[in-house]
Amino acid sequence: MGEVTVTFRHLEATNALREYAIEKVSKVKKYFDGPQEINVVLSSEKHRYTVEITLTANRAVINAKEETDDMYSAIDLAVDKVYRQIKRHKEKLKHHKSHAIPQEITSRYNILSSRGVGEDQLPTIIKTEQVLAKPMSIEEALMQLKLVTSEFLVFINASSGKINVIYHRKDGDYGLIEPEV
C-alpha cells in the first residue's frame, strides 16, 4: 500500500539500521487511507546523526527532522515528531467540523457524452454518481479537498446552510460555487 525509502548519506548502509527505520515509520501507515510515500534520509556529519522523514499521503505532506549523537534515538525522535504532526492535523480536521447544521444531503450529478451529437441527437448520460454533502465550513472543505484525489467537493456551507462546491482551478488556486435558488 505504501512505499518506504531509506537513503544513507555519509553513512555506512547497514541492514539493521534500515530495518529499524522501516519498522518505526511503517506504523504511521495506519493513520491514512490510500497510498502513502515515506522517505527517510539518514545522514552523518562529524559526530552528529540526522534523520529526515517526509511523509506524503492524501495530498498531505508531513516533514520531520532530528539530530542527535545516536542514530537510533534520532529515528525515534523524528518518528515522534511525525506522530505529533499527524495528531495535530487530525485534530484540526475534527475542530473544523461544524455541528450547526446536522443534516446531510445526497446529491447526484451526471456526466454527459458529446460523442455522436448531431443536430438531431441529444447528449447521453454515461456516468451517474451520488455525492454525500456534509455540513462544514469553507476552510474545512478546502482541507478535505486537499486530502482527496477528486477535482471538486460538494458540501453544505455551515454559515449559510446552502449547498456549495469547491474545486481545483487550472491556475493552482481554488474556486467556490455558491448556487442561488
- pLDDT tens profile 78-93: 999 988 888 887 777 6
- What's the order of all strands across the beta sheet hosting 60-68? 2-9, 36-45, 48-57, 60-68
What the block records as the C-alpha cell of 32 is 491514512
The predicted pLDDT at position 20 comes to 92
The mean per-residue pLDDT over the stretch 87-107 comes to 61
* Common-topology check for domains 2-95 and 105-177: no
> For residue 50, what pLDDT band results from cuts at 50, 70 and 90?
very high
In a 10 Å sphere around its CB, with 0-12 CB exposed, 13-18 middle and 19+ buried, how is residue 114 labelled?
exposed
Per-residue pLDDT, 99: 47
Judge whether residue 59 has pLDDT over 50: yes
pLDDT given at position 93: 67
pLDDT at residue 17 greater than cutoff 80: yes
Query: Do residues 36 and 56 make contact, with C-beta atoms less than 8 angstroms apart?
Result: yes
Strand 124-136 vs strand 152-157: parallel, antiparallel, or unpaired?
parallel
Residue 58 DSSP SS3: coil
Name the band, by pLDDT with cuts 50, 70 and 90, for residue 19. very high
Domain residue spans in the chain?
2-95, 105-177
**Average pLDDT for the chain:** 79
Q: Tell me 28's DSSP state.
A: G
- pLDDT value, residue 102: 45
Residue 4 neighbours by CB distance under 10 Å: 20
Give 154: exposed, middle or buried? Use CB within 10 Å, 0-12, 13-18, 19+.
Answer: buried
CATH number for the region 105-177 comes to 3.30.505.50
Q: How confident is the model at residue 69 (pLDDT cuts 50, 70, 90)?
A: very high
Report the alpha-carbon distance of residue 80 to residue 71 in Å, rounded.
Answer: 14
Query: By C-alpha distance, which of 137, 129, 130, 146 is closest to 164?
Result: 137
Q: Phi/psi zone of residue 83: left (φ > 0), alpha (ψ -120 to 50 degrees), beta?
A: alpha
- Class of the CATH-defined domain 2-95: alpha beta
Sorting pLDDT into bands at 50, 70 and 90, what band is 100? Answer: very low
Cα 112 to Cα 126: distance, rounded to the nearest angstrom = 6
- In tens, the pLDDT along 130-163 reads 777 888 888 888 888 887 777 888 888 888 888 8
